[in-house]
Amino acid sequence: MAKKYCITNSLQFELDFKDLMIDIAQNFINLPRGQALEYIRLCLKTIGEYFQADRAFFCSIDKGYPQTSKYGEWCKEGIPSAWGQTGIIPPLLIKWWVTNSQDNVVLIHDVDKLSAKPKVKSILQAAGIKSSIVLVLREKARIIGF
């Protein structure tokens, strides 16, 4: 019975998340000009709260990545920004995210147990990140952001 309850809850969580993503996408499509940045910040807050995360952010990749531009970040009350005021994500981390994504997702349950390159682990630890979900955003085959 407990297993059935867990599966039901998991499916409901997934359905609720899909509904949330559809709602976000529809609102984004109908967004008036000039309001994209503010809406991105609202979406980050909504997604961060949905997953009970400490922070959520969106970065775009300039054409000749590894340069990034941080478009928005949401942090739970009392949580500092992961990347400070600069919004610069270390190029090594971006490259690692891209090469280690499965279906454009990188899921790290526990950074301390990460068996990645020691530099990747230390970058995440220095930013105060304990776990992470990274979505690699693509336009056709080109990476456009995270």
In the chain, which residues have pLDDT < 70? 1-8, 62-71, 83-87, 116
Report CA dihedral (50, 112, 84, 89) to the nearest 10 degrees.
-90
Q: Give the tens place of pLDDT for each residue, 86-120.
A: 567 777 887 888 888 877 788 888 889 888 677 88
Alpha-carbon Rg for the chain in angstroms: 16
pTM of the predicted structure, to 2 decimals: 0.67
- Which residue in this structure is represented by tokens 């990188």? 106
pLDDT score at 92: 80
pLDDT score at 126: 84
The DSSP annotation for the chain comes to: -HHHHHHHHHHHHHHHHHHHHHHHHHHHHTPPTT-HHHHHHHHHHHHHHHTT-SEEEEEEE-TTSS-EEEEEEEE-TTPPPSSTTT-PPPHHHHHHHHHT-BTTEEEES-GGG--S-HHHHHHHHHTT-SSEEEE-EEETTEEEE-
Best CA proximity match to 81, nearest among 115, 56, 112 = 56
- Which residue in this structure is represented by tokens 């280690």? 100
pLDDT score at 67: 58
pLDDT score at 57: 79
pLDDT score at 6: 60
